[in-house]
């Protein structure tokens, strides 16, 4: 049977672990060739590539720290080489997953932390998208990973992170308006708390997890595959009439 993303090429940023890894594996399962971006975890990225190729898929690891525009441009120069090697004329899918979420509120925040969060979560997403759409086919797909914190609750200890994702939400809407004429859809996925390596500091707190689960309609903590499956839908032809949308994948928390 033909897979839904057969002959498509997808770039997933921050794909060496966590949500990015799960998304890369899901899109590969659907038939896409995956460009696995990583900033520093080369071994993790190569592990994702091996997992995909072991199952008969195609994947390529490409380094690139998206917090710096010059590194993004270098990354896309390498991606051009990957596309040529793969025999592809264009990029079909971009998942802007790379991001950081250090804890810290108003009183103890530092300029360095603020700049790091916005450089990766906002500037990195903006300029990665800019480069990607220059190579994107008509009818392409862009999915931005945001957070449910922009909707369902205040989180004073994650205020810089939440603010950066508020910017991502605006960019999602504006990119959708800009790129709609090319048939490119742009959507955002808003996870609730999800069990990944990056959230282990929070998910190891039994009291915090218990509080969140008790206020979640589906009664459990999110898993990476829960988010990856939503991204898979948005990248498919089934989502061709869905753009500028914010899809919450939280299990129904704080209803």
> What is the CB neighbour count within 10 angstroms for residue 48?
25
Q: In sequence order, what are the beta bridge partners of 186?
A: 142
Q: Residues 60, 127, 161, 175: which is the catalytic one? A: 161
Spatial separation of the C-alpha atoms in residues 85 and 105, rounded to whole Å: 46
Helix segments in 95-252, DSSP class H: 111-118, 125-133, 159-179, 200-203, 206-214, 224-235
Of the candidates 43, 60, 46, 4, the residue with the CA atom closest to the CA atom of residue 27: 4
Sorted by sequence, the CB contacts under 8 Å of residue 114 that are 6+ apart come out as 160
Per DSSP, which regions of the chain are E strands? 9-12, 33-38, 59-63, 91-96, 136-145, 185-191, 246-249
Active site residue 161: yes
Sign for the pseudo-dihedral over CA of 83, 88, 91, 95: negative
What is the distance between the alpha carbons of residues 136 and 184, in angstroms, rounded to a whole number? 9
**How many residues in the chain?**
255
Return the active site residues. 161
């Amino acid at each position: 049977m033909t897979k839904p993303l057969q002959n498509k090429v997808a770039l997933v940023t921050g794909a060496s672990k966590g949500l990015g890894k799960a998304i890369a594996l899901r899109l590969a399962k659907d038939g896409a060739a995956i460009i696995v971006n990583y900033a520093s975890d080369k071994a993790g990225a190569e592990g994702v590539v091996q997992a995909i190729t072991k199952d008969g898929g195609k994947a390529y690891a490409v380094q690139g720290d998206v917090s710096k525009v010059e590194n993004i441009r270098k990354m896309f120069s390498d991606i051009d080489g990957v596309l040529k090697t793969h025999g592809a004329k264009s990029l079909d899918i971009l998942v802007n997953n790379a991001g950081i979420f250090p804890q810290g509120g108003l009183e103890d925040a530092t300029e360095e932390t603020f700049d790091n969060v916005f450089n990766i979560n906002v500037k990195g997403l903006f300029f990665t998208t800019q480069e990607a759409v220059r190579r994107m086919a008509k009818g392409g797909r862009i999915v931005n990973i945001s957070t449910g914190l922009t909707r369902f609750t205040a989180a004073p200890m994650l205020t810089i992170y939440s603010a950066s994702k508020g910017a991502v939400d605006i960019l999602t809407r504006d990119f959708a308006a800009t790129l709609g004429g090319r048939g490119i859809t742009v959507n955002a996925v808003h996870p609730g708390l999800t069990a990944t390596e990056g959230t282990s500091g929070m998910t190891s707190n039994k009291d915090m997890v218990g509080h969140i689960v008790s206020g979640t309609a589906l009664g459990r903590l999110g898993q990476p595959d829960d988010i990856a499956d939503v991204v898979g839908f948005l990248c498919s032809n089934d989502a061709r009439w869905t753009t500028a949308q914010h899809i919450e994948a939280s299990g129904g928390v704080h209803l």
